[in-house]
Structure 1
Amino acid sequence: MSQQDDLELALQLCDIADRITGHRFQALDLTVREKPDRTPVTDADTAVETAVRQALTTARPDDAFAGEETGGSVTTGRTWLVDPIDGTKNFLRGIPVWATLIALLEDGRPTVGVISAPALHSRWWAAAGQGAWLRRGPGTAPRPLRVSGNTSLGHAYLSTTSTRTWDVFHSHEAYLRLAEECWEDRAFGDFLQHCMVAEGTLDIAAEPVVNAWDIAALQVLVAEAGGVCTNLLGASPQGGTGALSANPQLHRLALKVLSAAADPGAA
């Protein structure tokens, strides 16, 4: 099988997911339960992950699988990572900013990523060496993506997911210091902010905690758009210690600010 075959499969898996989420979004009988970490999960989350897992069992029986709701772990070799609905809180409240994230890791490195947000009529995808792409609206031609060319924090547009989580997982002071250095900050949140970095409409996306299935697809998207996506320490973002996406120059500057603010002795 080729990398193009894997990309086509990931796109097909998102088609399966979109049919399920499109049917359940704003459904009056949507069921919601609270997980032990107090985050919500809907019947749509579990239905998507089950359907994708079953499809992969048929299409790639020798590959490993790890999903947010049904578990699994990244192994050596090939592992598919699935976040059935990134932005579940938005989904259950009827806010259209949510997406299915599907990534293929080969020996721990993301090589294929697809982010599908049907309520936004948007789908982003990338594969190693093949660039990053966006199709917005049915029947439209995909367009290549490129990160912003801005190299100044003073002109940078910054986004995070939730400022409250910085107190728990990193340093609220560190985020505030970075926000003060930037031109503007917002909380577009979750997948969307990293996609916007890849598009070049946002300069920096920073969040203090992620899981592997939250970030792998976005990592390859940002990289193929010419950017850098690491954790808040400059290492792989798949270990859970946050995510920072930007073009290479802004990434270096933001990383320095976050490190110095979190550890004054490092300044």
Structure 2
Amino acid sequence: MPVRPADIDLAQRLADAAGAVIRPYFRRPAGLETKADQSPVTRADREAEEAMRRLLDAERSGDGIIGEEYGEKPGVTGRRWILDPIDGTRSFTAGRAIFGTLIALVEDGWPVLGVIDQPVQRERWLGVAGQPTLFNGGPTRTRACPALRGAIVATTSPHLFAEGDVPHYMALVTAASGGAPRQGPVYGGDCYNYGLLASGHLDIVCESGLKLYDFAALAPVVEGAGGRMCDWNGDPLTADSAGHVLAIGDPARTDEVLEALRGAVDDGIAHDH
């Protein structure tokens, strides 16, 4: 089923609803707690997801929902809304406006609509399968990258990577920097990095250990801007992907990026199948 204008409008209103909750908490006490997986959560995370779920229950009661804070609500339509109210809670609690709300619509396992919304700076990327990505309502594009050497690589933090993945990431960084320490990676940013890549400010984002709610919204945004989203084996991202995520602004660099990742050790990288 193609993405309908009503779906796009609903995704925008979901982002508006989350942002209205989040902004009053920014740089103010928000009840920081630590979840069982040792990740942080605040009242802003929970209340923003609750606001989005209320809207979906009212307007798409047959659709499924998967959210970071409140888990899965099964649906009957084959469509699921994937919600991450604050992707980058650490940045949010540190007062850094480089977190974002992620909203995706997944049909038959494939992300077909994605929103990256930065509610404090009021920056929003909207990606829809088969359509150009929009940034605050206007078209936006990734940039050309003539060679892997010199490409700007970003990641939130290698400390968040799954065990054994850091050497592969470092091999990519080395290939991109050409051994020049001052050409190192950009750290921090969570989903905001993918918006920056879609708008031509970064060349590569490399992450490991992501969940569906972390990456489902990113693929339509990056690909609609002319980039490539895939796992570390070069396969497209679906609801079954294991969380090794690459965003490549210039798809011509894909083979070089994958080769650099594989070059870290002889036994190959973890597969997402």
- TM-score (ref. length: structure 2): 0.88
Distance (Å, rounded) in 2 between the aligned partners of 1:70 and 1:236: 27
Which residue of 1 is the match for residue 176 of structure 2?
Answer: 182
Matched-pair contact (CA < 8 Å) for 1:134–1:145: yes
1:45-84 equivalence runs, <5 A: 45-72=45-72, 77-84=78-85
Matched-pair contact (CA < 8 Å) for 2:210–2:242: yes
1:222-233 equivalence runs, <5 A: 222-233=222-233
Matched AA of 1:179: V
Distance (Å, rounded) in 2 between the aligned partners of 1:73 and 1:207: 27
Asked which structure has the greater RCO (Cα within 8 Å, sep 6+), the reply is 2
Distance (Å, rounded) in 1 between the aligned partners of 2:132 and 2:258: 25
Higher share in helix = 1
Matched-pair contact (CA < 8 Å) for 1:101–1:113: yes
Which residue of 2 is the match for residue 139 of structure 1?
Answer: none
* Change beyond 3 A, Cα 1:179–1:134: same
Matched-pair contact (CA < 8 Å) for 1:158–1:186: yes
Q: Does the alignment pair 1:256 with 2:259?
A: yes
Q: Does the alignment pair 1:126 with 2:121?
A: no
1:153-172 equivalence runs, <5 A: 153-166=148-161, 168-172=162-166
Judge which range, 235-244 or 115-124, deviates more: 235-244
Matched residue count: 258
* Change beyond 3 A, Cα 1:60–1:31: same
* Change beyond 3 A, Cα 1:43–1:130: same
3-state SS of paired residue (2:153): strand
CA RMSD of aligned residues (A): 2.0
Distance (Å, rounded) in 1 between the aligned partners of 2:68 and 2:14: 16
3-state SS of paired residue (2:71): coil
Distance (Å, rounded) in 2 between the aligned partners of 1:37 and 1:263: 31
Identity rate, percent? 34
* Change beyond 3 A, Cα 1:265–1:195: closer
Structure 1: runs of 5+ lacking an equivalent: 136-141
Q: Does the alignment pair 1:115 with 2:110?
A: no
3-state SS of paired residue (1:119): coil
Q: What per-residue deviation string (whole Å, max 9, x for no partner) do you get for residues 100-156 of structure 1?
A: 110000111111111110222311111111210112xxxxxx321212211311121
